[in-house]
Every structure is written in C-alpha cells, then in structure tokens.
C-alpha cells in the first residue's frame, strides 16, 4: 500500500533557545515524533544555523530521533555524513544536488532514511522519478532560510498531487512532510491536502507550553487527514 494513517509532528528547534537546547527538546519529547534539525550553510540559503559539530552534539543529547533538513550547497558530500552521525532521517534539497540517486544510496547505506526537499518554485514533476526510492518528500511551504515566515497556501496543489502519486505507488509509503509556517491555523489545510508529517518551529517554541501546541497540532491534523 502506498499510504497509511500515521500523523507525525516534528518540532523544529530553529526558533528555540539555542543556549538550552537539551531542555527545549525535553519539553516536547513525550508528545513529538522527532526533532527537525535545520542545517543552513549561508550559501544555499542566506542564513547559518548549526554546524556539523553542534549537530552531532544535539543528536547525542536528544531524547527524540533527529530529522535533519540540509539547506546546504553540497549535499552530495555532506548528506551521508549526517547519516553517519546518527540522524534518523536526512533530507537534502533537490535543487542543490548533483547526483540524486547517488546521494539517496549513500544516505541509506549509512543507516538513515532519505528525505528529498523541494523549494516552492520546484514542480513535483522534477522529482517524481525519485518517489520510489525515497522515504519522505518534503514540500517547502516557505522559502527555505528562516523560521517564522507565512505559510504558502499555494503549495497545497503540489501537496495534493504528491499525495495522489504516493497513494498509487505500491512500495513502502513515502511520508509527505510540509515545512514552514505550520501552526494551529494552517495545519488543517496542509493535512486536508494530504500531508502527514508536519514541521512546526515558531508555533511550538514561541508558545509558553510547547507540548500542548504539539498535541493540539496532532489533533487538528488527524481530524483533517484523509487518505
Ligand atoms: C525554514 C526551515 C523550517 C522552519 C520552520 O527554512 O526549513 O524548518 O524553521 O519554522 P516555522 O515553523 O517557524 O516556519
Ligand atoms: Zn526545515
């Protein structure tokens, strides 16, 4: 079957308190599926977040699996290294990749699941041929680079097209992740379009009760997601 009923909520720590990330992760650890770790190199996107050494430390102390999102120029070289240090999944950008099939194979052989991320301007047709060999498709619902931006509703057509393709495929179900601007007011729309994995950064960490927000996000997504 090309689909299932799982809903995954992965808080992004990009807008959490960088000086106390262990505690920030622990605030959501009993209610979340993974921590979304945004890696930015100031080249592929105009911002810097965590370097490799800091990422390795976070993976080490995190009580949740790490869903790494690499917004970097050279995923061909670097993505497998994130698999090696223990990420549960490693998502790389199609737009930055030189040899997608090779990156996918190298991430898998280093023990992580593979995600492929596409920017808002990239059509689904560009990556369709990879749907059989990846574990997760990441549809960006903001321009990658910064947390706290407005959700791009216009990306929902791409999400529903991706959902239709995934449901037709016979292999293991590909997770359909949306990343950017997900909040209590936008998650239902994304779930209705067919997303089943949700990254939420500022909506979770700008609130005084991050765990409660995660729980509410999950409820809303469950109510709107239909196969
Ligand atoms: C944007 C990042 C997102 C973002 C999520 O480049 O990939 O993961 O930080 O944060 P919010 O939920 O605030 O848009
Ligand atoms: Zn991200």
Which residue, among 191, 198, 183, has the nearest Cα to 226 in the 3D structure? 191
Cα(158)–Cα(164) distance, rounded to whole angstroms? Answer: 10
Inside any domain, residue 112? yes
Q: Ligand 1 within 6 A of 145 CB?
A: yes
Give yes or no for a contact between 166 and 173, defined as CB atoms under 8 angstroms apart: yes
Q: Is 92 exposed, middle or buried (0-12, 13-18, 19+ CB in 10 A)?
A: buried
Inside any domain, residue 1? no
Distance 207 CA to ligand 1 centre (A): 15
Inside any domain, residue 42? yes
Inside any domain, residue 49? yes
Q: Which two tokens stand for residue 187?
A: 């998650």
Domain that residue 97 falls in: 8-224
Inside any domain, residue 94? yes
Kindly report the number of other CB atoms within 10 A of residue 218's CB atom: 18
Report pTM: 0.97
Cα(210)–Cα(219) distance, rounded to whole angstroms? Answer: 15
Active site positions, annotated:
38, 179
Q: Residue ranges of the alpha helices (H) in the chain?
A: 21-28, 52-61, 75-84, 100-109, 156-168, 187-193, 202-205, 210-224
Test site for ligand 1: of 32, 71, 142, most ligand atoms within 8 A of the Cβ: 142
Q: Which two tokens stand for residue 13?
A: 């720590």
Could you read off the pLDDT tens digit of each residue along the chain, which spans 227 residues?
344 468 999 999 999 999 999 999 999 999 999 999 999 999 999 999 999 999 999 999 999 999 999 999 999 999 999 999 999 999 999 999 999 999 999 999 999 999 999 999 999 999 999 999 999 999 999 999 999 999 999 999 999 999 999 999 888 899 999 999 999 999 999 999 999 999 999 999 999 999 999 999 999 999 999 87
Contact residues for 219 (Cβ-Cβ < 8 A; gap 6+): none
Inside any domain, residue 95? yes
Inside any domain, residue 3? no
Give the number of domains in the chain: 1
Inside any domain, residue 29? yes
Q: Ligand 1 within 6 A of 199 CB?
A: yes
Domain of 187, CATH number, reads 3.20.20.70
């Amino acid at each position: 079957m090309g689909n299932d009923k799982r809903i995954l909520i992965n808080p992004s720590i990009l807008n959490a308190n960088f000086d106390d990330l262990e505690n920030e992760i622990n605030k959501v650890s009993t209610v979340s599926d993974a921590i979304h770790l945004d890696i930015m190199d100031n080249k592929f996107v105009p911002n810097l977040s965590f370097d490799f050494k800091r990422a390795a430390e976070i993976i080490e102390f995190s009580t949740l699996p790490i869903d790494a999102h690499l917004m970097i120029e050279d995923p061909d070289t670097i993505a497998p290294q994130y698999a090696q240090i223990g990420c549960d999944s490693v998502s790389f950008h199609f737009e930055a990749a030189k040899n997608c099939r090779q990156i996918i194979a190298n991430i898998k052989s280093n023990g992580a699941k593979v995600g492929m991320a596409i920017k808002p301007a990239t059509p689904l047709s560009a990556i369709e041929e990879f749907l059989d060999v990846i574990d997760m498709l990441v549809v960006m619902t903001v321009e990658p680079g910064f947390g706290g931006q407005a959700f791009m509703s216009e990306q929902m057509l791409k999400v529903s097209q991706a959902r239709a393709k995934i449901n037709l495929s016979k292999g293991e179900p590909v997770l359909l992740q949306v990343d950017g601007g997900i909040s209590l007011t936008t998650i239902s729309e994304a779930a209705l379009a067919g997303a089943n994995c949700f990254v939420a950064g500022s909506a979770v960490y700008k609130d005084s009760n991050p765990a409660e927000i995660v729980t509410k996000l999950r409820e809303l997504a469950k109510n709107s997601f239909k196969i």
